[in-house]
């Protein structure tokens, strides 16, 4: 079930380096939020803080809160593994397990999440549902036993999306999911995002302004004052407003290609 995200006063550190400072934002369920901004402003770092992937790096930590339907993901006693089960992630490069079959790739996340006792017939249904959901079923239904690496890049990325949705998360985070893909595969993923937002809360980092404008409901612009300075959320609004009449000059300069 899609859930809302409320981030409050979030600072994100790598050791003593504060990479992101003071982010407060709300993300509605069943919407697509795009995060844009120049290289190094902390978009990926921020995204990883939304499912506690950031802290897998030694010395990395956050302060502030990230609420998922009101529950603080950083609260005492919250298991980060369970957080990642509820908040799934798709990465820049498609990363299926290369020697594992297409079928096993889809169920990999479920197996890690205690799905071992699930009966074969039920598992088959989940695999079909996830592959249907990722718009990949028709292309792979006759070769589910072939390795994940036998698919094209665009198909592999949809396989990774199927793997992410097979565990029925509440939120789907996507870090430049199309940057390694050709234009046709990119459009397939964008269409897919539009369908997925009926069931999920989606947050996407993208360098592609047209993509942000095409797919997202709201856009957040991050920026940095200079090297070594923390990234900050400068402005966040309806995507149509951000791309037509942003409130901050730096947003307009970035969107119109004057820097970054």
Ligand X SMILES: Nc1ncnc2c1ncn2[C@@H]1O[C@H](COP(=O)(O)OP(=O)(O)OP(=O)(O)O)[C@@H](O)[C@H]1O
Q: Does 155 bind ligand X (CB under 6 A)?
A: no
Q: Which is nearer to ligand X, 87 or 136 (CB)?
A: 87
Contact pick of 5, 33, 43, 203 for ligand X (by CB under 6 A): 43
Q: 166, 84 in Cβ contact below 8 A?
A: no
User: Order of strands across the sheet with 218-224?
Assistant: 71-72, 60-68, 5-14, 17-27, 231-238, 218-224, 32-36, 201-205, 171-175, 87-90
Contact pick of 29, 40, 129, 147 for ligand X (by CB under 6 A): 40
113 by DSSP, 3-state: which? coil
Q: Which is nearer to ligand X, 111 or 229 (CB)?
A: 229
Distance of CA 22 to the CA centre of its chain: 21
Q: Does 19 bind ligand X (CB under 6 A)?
A: yes
Q: How far is the CB of 203 from ligand X (least distance, A)?
A: 13
Q: Does 177 bind ligand X (CB under 6 A)?
A: no
SS3 content of the chain, % helix, strand, coil (to 5): 40, 25, 35
Q: How far is the CB of 90 from ligand X (least distance, A)?
A: 15
Per-residue contact flags (x/-) with ligand X for residues 57 to 86, judged by CB under 6 A: x-----------------------------
Measured CA distances, 48 to 3, 60, 213 (Å): 17, 11, 22
Q: Does 220 bind ligand X (CB under 6 A)?
A: no
Instruction: Count CB neighbours of 199 within 10 A.
Output: 17
Where on the chain is the footprint of ligand X (CB under 6 A)? 14, 19, 37, 39-45, 57, 231
């Amino acid at each position: 079930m899609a859930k809302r995200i409320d981030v409050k006063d979030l600072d994100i550190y790598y050791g003593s380096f504060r990479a992101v400072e003071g982010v407060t934002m709300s993300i509605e369920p069943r919407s697509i939020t795009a995060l844009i901004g120049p290289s190094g402003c902390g978009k990926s770092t921020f995204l990883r803080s939304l499912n506690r992937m950031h802290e897998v790096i030694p010395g990395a930590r956050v302060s502030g809160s990230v609420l998922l339907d009101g529950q603080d993901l950083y609260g005492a006693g919250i298991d980060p593994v369970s957080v990642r089960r509820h908040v799934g992630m798709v990465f820049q490069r498609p990363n299926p397990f290369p020697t594992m079959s297409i079928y096993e790739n889809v169920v990999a996340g479920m197996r890690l999440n205690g799905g071992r006792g699930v009966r074969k017939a039920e598992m088959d249904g989940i695999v079909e549902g996830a592959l249907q959901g990722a718009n990949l079923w028709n292309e792979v239904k006759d070769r589910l036993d072939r390795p994940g690496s036998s698919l094209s890049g665009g198909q592999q990325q949809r396989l990774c999306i199927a793997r992410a949705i097979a565990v029925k998360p509440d939120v789907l985070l996507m870090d430049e999911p199309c940057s390694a893909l050709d234009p046709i595969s990119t459009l397939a993923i964008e269409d897919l995002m539009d369908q997925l937002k009926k069931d999920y809360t989606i947050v996407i980092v993208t360098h592609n302004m047209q993509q942000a404008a095409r797919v997202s409901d709201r856009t957040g612009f991050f920026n940095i004052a200079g090297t070594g300075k923390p990234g900050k959320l400068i402005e966040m609004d309806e995507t149509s407003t951000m791309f037509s009449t942003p409130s901050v000059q730096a947003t307009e300069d970035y969107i119109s290609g004057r820097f970054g």
